[in-house]
Amino acid sequence: MPEIEIDPTTRIEGHHSTTLQVEDGVVTEAKSHMDMFRGMETVVLDRPPSDAPVFTQRVCGVCFTVHRMSSLLAIENAAREAGVFDGVPDTARKMRNLLEKIATLWNHAVHMFALVGPDYSDAVADTGLERLDPMEGEGYKKALDAQRQLLQGFAEFGGKAPHPLTYAPGGMSATPTEGKLQTIRRQVEYVSDWLGPTDAIPEVIGNVRNGEFDPSLGEGLHDIVSILFAAKEAGADDFGVGPGRYYCNGVYPDGEGDREVPAGIYVDGELSHPSKEEITSAITEDTTRAWYTDDSGGHPMEESPPKPDPEKDGAYSWGKAPRYDGMNMETGSLARLIVTDRDPFDLRADLGGDPTKSTTLNRLIARAQEAVLLRDGILELLEEIEPNATVNRGWTDDFSGEGVGLWEASRGALSHWVKIEDGTITNYQIITPTLWNLGPRDGNGTPSIFEGAVEGMEVTDYENPINVMRTVRSFDPCLACSVHVESPAGTYTEEVTPASPGTAAAGSERPFAGQEVDEP
């Protein structure tokens, strides 16, 4: 039985690989390997709760905002339960929602053009879509410019990107001035013009079908629809099929106790909207096939921070296997649109064949649909933010309690779990969307969503199993969020260039080029 090793499997991170067992040209077994130790949870132990958002946002340079947000929600939840926190001001809520929407739209642009688009480009797949060619295609380059514009707009309120400075416990630390609002509006409108008007989508679809290109209707829309049609032509509506079970935490609070995108569970064709308590009680993590001790698994609020067990028999991943009521669940843009019963312009129904079917194509369509919805929502939200309003009512770390922050990354459901005793973090857990989608098997042998979606797929070219690659990328995996590295004690050489040649900042203790430093 031939074995195919794909390493790396993504363009965004190098520490994920996949092993395929293939028989008669069909994948009979897939193993999803996360190849680095996960340990960010241990970094925040014994620190005050307000430190957690600052550290955990650095899990990843792509999903930086959502980790800070989820961590804030977790510690604020704990503080509220302890009776020392009354909630963020309304303007801070709107600012957070605005920044999160901008960051997710940026993520979608990165996904569609830098991570997935090349799989359907002329350079990679001989499709004739030269605009999608990485680094050289005009569509690719225009998308890079749009991404830059979005991050510049984000930085007006966020301070910088990645790793914003202004998401603060209790609200925000940045004031929304009229000047900043106007700057963000200009940046977003620039991107909006590149993307094209929402109501032009039917005409753009007609253009792409006929091989026509009208930049006045949006270069971005033409390129994105071209990706979708190329994926359809490749048969992506029939491969990468998941079980059709979806999980969404909900996102963007509306100020009245609900969220613009509600929490939802879709199983066996039935949609439900469980409470936060129902969601948190149903989640567990299985470590049977992960290089962690048994007590590193279980319910997130009770399990130990991750303890490595790299010699563990039968394990093959540094990722855990999260489960909802014992079930593997798909999460992401497709899940969010299904739990809100949205299929803009009936694209998943018409192009994908079924709006709720879990396929490589429907994941791409859902991300494109959500990008347009986000753009429209950002422009509306900018009109609602009141300049110079109150954004923070203060914060204290002096409390004990437990909290969970449920949020949505662009890739899907994200949760942070914290225990605090006398102002000190005693336990912390992070469950990422990539763990839900690309984790290992559990103790019952149930594969992750990705592993199950790949099994049964045909592989005609063992040297280039492109449809398997298209499937893994359709989940938009981000491995840094799901695993992290721990460096052993040792001596390293660090290269540092002073701000001015031959000088250094007064009092700086940082080493100069070539100086050896000991790092734990």
Question: Which two tokens mark 141?
Answer: 């380059």
Please state the φ and ψ torsions of residue 171, each to the nearest 5 degrees: 150, -120
Helix, strand or coil for residue 324? strand
Residue 61: the pLDDT is 75
Asked if residue 8 has a cis previous peptide bond (ω within 30° of 0), the answer is: yes
Residue 487: the pLDDT is 43
Helix axes 360-382, 466-474, angle to 10 degrees: 30
Query: Which residues lie across from 261 on neighbouring strands?
Result: 251
Residue 45: the pLDDT is 96
81 is in an annotated binding site: no
Q: Which of 42, 95, 111 has the alpha carbon at shortest distance from 470?
A: 111
248 is in an annotated binding site: no
CA torsion angle for 190, 191, 192, 196 (degrees, to 10)?
A: 110
Question: Which amino acid would we find at residue 368?
Answer: A
pTM above 0.75, yes or no: yes
What is the 3-class SS of 37-67, one letter each residue? CCCHHHHCCCCCCCHHHHHHHHHCCCCHHHH
430 is in an annotated binding site: yes
d(CA 82, CA 93): 21
Q: Which residues contact 71 (CB under 8 A, 6 or more apart)?
A: 52, 53, 56, 57, 405, 416, 418
Tens of pLDDT along the chain (520 residues) come to 689 999 888 887 667 899 999 999 999 999 999 988 768 899 999 999 999 999 999 888 788 899 999 999 999 999 999 999 999 999 999 999 999 999 999 999 999 999 999 999 999 999 999 999 999 999 999 999 999 999 999 999 999 988 998 999 999 999 999 999 999 999 999 999 999 999 999 999 999 999 999 999 999 999 999 999 999 999 999 999 999 999 999 999 999 999 999 999 999 999 999 999 999 999 999 999 999 999 999 999 999 989 999 999 999 999 999 999 999 999 999 999 999 999 999 999 999 999 999 999 999 999 999 999 999 999 999 999 999 999 999 999 999 999 999 999 999 999 999 999 999 999 999 999 999 999 999 999 999 999 999 999 999 999 999 999 999 999 998 865 544 444 445 554 445 444 433 333 333 333 333 333 343 3
Residue 516: the pLDDT is 38
- CB–CB of 221/379 below 8 Å? no
